[in-house]
């Protein structure tokens, strides 16, 4: 039974959304604590009509915490997660530090909730670009077994944190005013531009962000035979990642069948009326928890291909919402065991 929950990184951008979600979803734990670095300790944050004082995250603070959601950089997660697990805390971690550890389940609740049963104190939440893609893949994989995925991402600057959003806003202003601007988060200007590199060179010309999509997809589906060819691009959009996805299945799925499968899937909203200009766009998906799908059509170059457009709020479903959903799975499982 879980009686206490802590948010690690409670003062950060994703931590703030986690706090909001715990209120919105009426998370079934009353004892909530907020943890952060020493410089944020002592701040008071609004929660459930009152205030909670932020505590400094130290090893001993986890002694009487049953469950925590970590919204921190990878280096911080590598430090604090072992502290927490050693003291009996179950950790839902949003960083990339533990995702590919073979002892750590990588969970998207709509896709592989059963994998949570194997956890040994740590559950990882996937990369944002992977998360929305595997939610979209799930019903097609169950119906026709996906053999191959070709995906191009159009990733918002919020994926690079507050500095990424500032680069876009202030860089655009400087460009319009014909003034110089020193970019902090990106190695090239993002204002009025696209950057076809996210992450460092990793494998045979693919970047670290692209290989995350390959490796994490294999782990989530438990199927290394699914071929994934990703290209990840940073675009001048403040929030919400978009993806152009083409899947090839063993069994043919028509566009109509694919639409029905998407519509029946929890966590997916279909917006697909090309003639009326109806399709998902970042401005319309911002602040929402679903994965939005449109432009559903059969691949005219392949007999068993389905192409579609996919948009999701990378700070919510791509990060905070997925972590809170995992925590909800844990609480429900503990209540019935």
The residues carrying an active-site annotation are 128, 241
Instruction: Report the candidate in 69, 71, 37, 75 with the shortest Cα–Cα distance to residue 56.
Output: 37
The single-letter DSSP state of residue 14 is H
Instruction: Report the candidate in 334, 309, 335, 325 with the shortest Cα–Cα distance to residue 113.
Output: 325
- How far is it, in rounded angstroms, from Cα 276 to Cα 29? 45
The token pair at 224 is: 């290394």
Instruction: Report the candidate in 296, 248, 243 with the shortest Cα–Cα distance to residue 272.
Output: 296
- Alpha-carbon dihedral angle through residues 36, 159, 74, 150, given to the nearest 10 degrees: 150
- How far is it, in rounded angstroms, from Cα 215 to Cα 147? 15
The count of C-alpha atoms lying within 13 angstroms of the C-alpha of 309, restricted to the half-sphere facing its C-beta, is 15
């Amino acid at each position: 039974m879980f009686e206490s929950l802590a948010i690690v990184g409670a003062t950060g951008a994703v931590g703030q959304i986690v706090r909001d979600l715990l209120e919105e979803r009426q998370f079934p734990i009353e004892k909530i604590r907020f943890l952060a670095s020493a410089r944020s300790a002592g701040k008071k944050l609004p929660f459930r009509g009152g205030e909670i004082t932020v505590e400094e995250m130290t090893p001993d603070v986890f002694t009487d915490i049953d469950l925590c959601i970590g919204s921190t950089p990878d280096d911080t997660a590598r430090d604090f997660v072992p502290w927490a697990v050693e003291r009996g805390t179950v950790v839902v971690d949003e960083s990339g530090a533990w995702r590919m550890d073979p002892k750590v389940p990588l969970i998207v609740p709509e896709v592989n909730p059963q994998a949570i049963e194997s956890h040994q104190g740590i559950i990882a939440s996937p990369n944002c670009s992977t998360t929305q893609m595997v939610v979209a893949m799930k019903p097609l994989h169950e119906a026709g077994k996906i053999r191959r995925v070709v995906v191009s991402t159009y990733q918002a600057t919020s994926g690079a944190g507050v500095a990424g959003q500032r680069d876009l806003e202030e860089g655009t202003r400087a460009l319009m005013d014909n003034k110089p601007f020193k970019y902090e988060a990106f190695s090239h200007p993002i204002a009025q531009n696209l950057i076809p590199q996210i992450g460092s060179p990793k494998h045979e010309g693919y970047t670290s962000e692209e290989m995350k999509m390959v490796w994490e997809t294999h782990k989530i589906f438990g199927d290394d035979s699914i071929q994934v060819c990703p290209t990840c691009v940073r675009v001048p959009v403040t929030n919400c990642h978009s993806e152009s996805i083409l899947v090839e299945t063993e069994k043919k799925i028509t566009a109509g069948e694919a639409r029905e499968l998407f519509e029946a899937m929890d966590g997916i909203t279909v917006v697909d009326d090309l003639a009326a200009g109806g399709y998902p766009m970042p401005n319309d998906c911002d602040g929402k928890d679903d994965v939005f799908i449109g432009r559903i059509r059969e691949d005219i170059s392949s007999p068993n291909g389905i192409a579609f457009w996919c948009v999701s709020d990378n700070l919510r479903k791509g990060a905070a919402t997925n972590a809170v959903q995992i925590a909800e799975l844990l609480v429900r499982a503990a209540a019935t065991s």
